């Protein structure tokens, strides 16, 4: 019998050179492709035509604790991009599972939407939405 280990402490994530830390509890990192990689169409006699979309964009959702110092770093990148010309907030994105074989990279990514902050008696979460122009993804397993 083989036992494989999944450990979020072994998942490394960076954006524009900023290490992401202070993750929220639960699902804290999600990558969603903007479009299907392939589409298909069926003709009157059942013949199928398949088409490659060539759209490799993706949205990356990062959920951090309110107290995470990464929020300040992401805010600085966001404000630089919003207030300076020429894409000052575009940077590389990386997720690698050091305890497995999964790897996700994008050379050009940016903050699409900053969090909608909430405040409560207890710390709340901050959800950052990033977008990239071309995700390179390899979903592997763990060792």
Q: How far, in Å, CA of 77 to CA of 71, rounded?
A: 10
Q: How far, in Å, CA of 83 to CA of 137, rounded?
A: 31
Q: What is the pLDDT of residue 143?
A: 82
How high is the mean pLDDT of the chain? 96
Q: What is the pLDDT of residue 113?
A: 98
State the average pLDDT over residues 132-141: 96
Q: What would the two tokens of residue 121 be? A: 């008696």
- Sorted by sequence, the CB contacts under 8 Å of residue 31 that are 6+ apart come out as 58, 59, 60, 61, 95, 104, 135, 137
- Side-chain-facing half-sphere of 37: CA atoms under 13 Å: 5
3-state secondary structure of 120: coil
Q: What is the pLDDT of residue 1?
A: 87
Q: What is the pLDDT of residue 20?
A: 98
Per CATH, is 8-138 categorized as 3.90.79?
no
What is the pTM for the complete model shown? 0.93
Cα angle 87, 81, 77; round to 5: 120
Give one DSSP letter per residue of 60-82, joined into a string.
EEEEEETT-THHHHHHHHHHHHH
Cα angle 115, 120, 122; round to 5: 105
Per-residue pLDDT tens over the stretch 48-105? 999 999 999 999 999 999 999 999 999 999 999 999 999 899 999 999 999 999 999 9
Per-residue pLDDT tens over the stretch 12-51? 999 999 999 999 999 999 999 999 999 999 999 999 999 9
Instruction: Report in angstroms the alpha-carbon separations of 7 from 1, 4, 98, 117.
Output: 20, 10, 9, 28
């Amino acid at each position: 019998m083989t036992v494989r280990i999944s450990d979020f402490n072994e998942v490394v994530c960076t954006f524009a050179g900023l290490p992401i830390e202070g993750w929220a509890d639960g699902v804290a990192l999600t990558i969603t492709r903007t479009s299907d990689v392939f589409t298909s169409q069926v003709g009157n006699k059942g013949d199928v035509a398949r088409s490659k979309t060539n759209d490799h964009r993706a949205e990356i959702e990062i959920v951090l604790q309110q107290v995470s110092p990464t929020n300040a770093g992401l805010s600085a990148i966001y404000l630089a991009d919003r207030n300076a010309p020429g894409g000052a907030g575009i940077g590389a994105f990386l997720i690698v599972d050091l305890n497995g074989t999964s790897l996700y990279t994008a050379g050009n990514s940016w903050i699409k939407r900053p969090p909608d902050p909430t405040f409560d008696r207890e710390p709340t979460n901050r959800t950052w939405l990033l977008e990239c122009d071309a995700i390179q993804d390899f979903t592997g397993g763990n060792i």
